[in-house]
Amino acid sequence: MWDFSFSRSVGAILRTLPFVLFRLAVYLGIAFAYLFSVGAGAVVGYGFGHMGGPDGPASGAFWGGAIGFGMVSTALYFAREYILYLVKAAHIAVLVEVLDGKDIPNGQGQVKYGAAFVKTHFGEASVLFGVDQIIKGVIRALFGIINFFTSFLPIPALQQLIRFVEAIIRMSLTYVDEVILAYLIRTRTTNPWNTAKDGLILYAQNYKTILKNAVWLSIFLWGLTFLLFVFLLGPAAAIIALVPGHAGLGLWVLAIALVFAWSIKAAVLEPLAIACLMQVYFKVIEGQTPDPEWDQRLSGASKKFRELADKAGKWVHGPAVPSPGTAS
């Protein structure tokens, strides 16, 4: 049914528990920032709402919460590349070492170890973020190439089913960029753009095997996230009930529960899914070289892929990458 060892992935996550706890602190910190901003905004809006009509306090509380939510979302938008650089990629670097059977530090030194690894490979957050964004763009184009559902006749009875399955497949492509980043780290790349290009071609020429596993993982992951969301609705409702004007904040119960469910998913469930996909990807590409035919297909279908090749050609090669334990 799938081509990875779930127990091996769980073991890898347990070995990187300090990093999981670090991720949990970061993402729950984001969730509490949302909670505080919505609550504070609602209180301020509730106060100003008294200057309006009878519905003023409830309306003010709602819009105050919305403004608070928007402020935190804006801050996260600008901080997203550093979250990727300092949290996601660094954890992937440690997971790569664990899955390859190498020794890693314990405790808080593990977080420093992962960060040093990423800094050695990419130098600064903007390089890693740029590679990651181009990979995402190529994956969107790749979906159009491999979308075998387009061969179906436009039978109305099948359209809803086809769209549903396509949505699941799109969702399953979410973690491809993290797997390609793992490939960059594992190969000790000195040219992240060129290695990302090779990694994407290797993914494309093995997409059936990888995609099958990714679909199963996606269903599992989002199923657990939905259960978390349902479980958190009660605590979220209890918290919102403490806010003045809470009668007009029913929507924020859903929003708060969703944010906390997303935080736990990002901190704990995502690394587990990535560890599973890393096993599949590294196993299936072993001994392979990038297929020139897929290189041409991706070049013809994706402007982002051509941009990746262009940046690879302009990259100034650095020295061989040392192990993270010796990185300065």
Q: Which two tokens stand for residue 73?
A: 């979302």
Q: Is the pLDDT of residue 78 over 60?
A: yes
**Is the separation of the CB atoms in 43 and 63 below 8 Å?**
no
pLDDT at 160: 64
Euclidean distance between CA atoms 312 and 132, whole angstroms:
14
Euclidean distance between CA atoms 39 and 299, whole angstroms:
49
Closest CA to 79 of 139, 119, 33: 33
As a whole number of Å, the end-to-end CA separation of the chain is: 43
Q: Which residues make Cβ contacts (< 8 Å) with residue 73, sequence separation at least 6?
A: none
pLDDT at 118: 82
Q: Tell me the whole-structure pTM to 2 decimals.
A: 0.79
Question: Which range has highest mean pLDDT (106-120, 147-161, 251-265)?
Answer: 251-265
| Average pLDDT for 224-239 | 91
Q: Which amino acid belongs to residue 51?
A: M
Q: Which two tokens stand for residue 83?
A: 């979250």
